Amino acid sequence: MPMLTYFGNPITEHFPTHAEQFNQNINGLSWTSANMAWRSVDLFQDYMAVASLFAIQAVDLRAEQELGHYDGRALLQESLVPIYDAIYAVCEEKMGQKQPFLGHDDSRWLEADLQMIKQGLQPGKGLISAIKPLVESFKTAFQV
């Protein structure tokens, strides 16, 4: 998260301009600003992939603790089940009651799952389609 804060700051805080140099700096600053925005979106997708993976792990393990099986959908609100299903689908993993998506952090190689989730967060992909109704409900609730 500190890197997102760094990339979210105005570019002039990183590279101050001087009044007599403003005209010469404007092109360089706009390019740097666009590049930092691109990097912040990429970094946020990485963060969302990690958060999604461990949210699924937490829900599955809580389901086993509370209900005696690993199907986390039983604990989720109806609006969150499509997101849960989409993460499983993007990672090409089958849901089941006998084993969690991720039982222990060292039980599988996480890099492949993180890359698949990140790809699912691209426009028009499965995770974005699953998240869209939730985003729309927030817009309605907060009158955005």
Domain that holds residue 68: 2-8+20-141
Question: Per the domain annotation, does 55 fall within a domain?
Answer: yes
Question: Per the domain annotation, does 133 fall within a domain?
Answer: yes
Question: Per the domain annotation, does 15 fall within a domain?
Answer: no
- Structural domain total, the chain: 1
pLDDT value at residue 17: 61
Question: Per the domain annotation, does 76 fall within a domain?
Answer: yes
Q: Quick one: pLDDT band at residue 11, thresholds 50, 70, 90?
A: confident
Q: What is the pTM of this model?
A: 0.80
Question: Per the domain annotation, does 128 fall within a domain?
Answer: yes
Question: Per the domain annotation, does 13 fall within a domain?
Answer: no
Residue 72 and residue 59: Cα distance in Å, rounded? 5
63-104: pLDDT as tens digits: 999 999 999 999 999 999 999 999 999 998 888 888 888 887
**Ramachandran quadrant class, 92 (left: phi over 0; alpha: psi -120 to 50; beta: rest):** left
CATH number at residue 75: 1.20.200.10
In percent, the amount of the chain with pLDDT more than 70 equals 88
pLDDT value at residue 93: 87
